[in-house]
Amino acid sequence: MDGSLAALFALVAAADLVFGARGCGLDGCDALETTRARTALQYGEVLYQGERQGGELYLQQMLPRRFGGLEPVLGLSISADGDTWVGAGLQWTGALPHDSFVQLSLLPGFHAQTDGPDLGHMIEFRSSIGVGYAFDNGARLSLQFDHRSNAELSDPNPGLETFGLRVALPL
């Protein structure tokens, strides 16, 4: 997988900031607003070079600020091999019919390898796409796909994919 998810995130985020209902518009920006913080826990299956590597727990904290359609996010994941990734970035959420949503994110971070695959660099970018359902109480349930790679900071740049189920609860 290449940087397609990261490029999609950048395109959608920029379009939302300029043209979106919550966005900044062409005349300037005053779109910073306070929102509800959420904590999310995701369990996913990790794939490396198409081979299953085991499970991963991924904890996310969505901070109580939003700038247009973007919200800051902190993330921490630990794989069954003991590899750890920690990062911070932005997430965009778009509404779909019937209380469903689509989500894109991009979080640069640090990867600490133990018994897992060699990803080529300690800096790894985690881009994701997901679809889910938003409940009336603010909770969200979604299916997520993400890709991690070092964005050609070094060679090799093999990448790692995760398919997961995420539950997000408002604080």
CATH number of this structure's domain 3-18+38-170: 2.40.160.20
Please give the average per-residue pLDDT across 116-136, as a whole number.
91
Give the domain ranges of the chain: 3-18+38-170
pLDDT in tens, 8-45: 888 888 887 777 655 555 555 556 788 889 999 999 99
pTM recorded for the entire structure: 0.88
List for the chain the helix, strand, coil content (%; round to 5): 10, 55, 35
Q: Which helix (H) or strand (E) holds 14?
A: helix 4-19
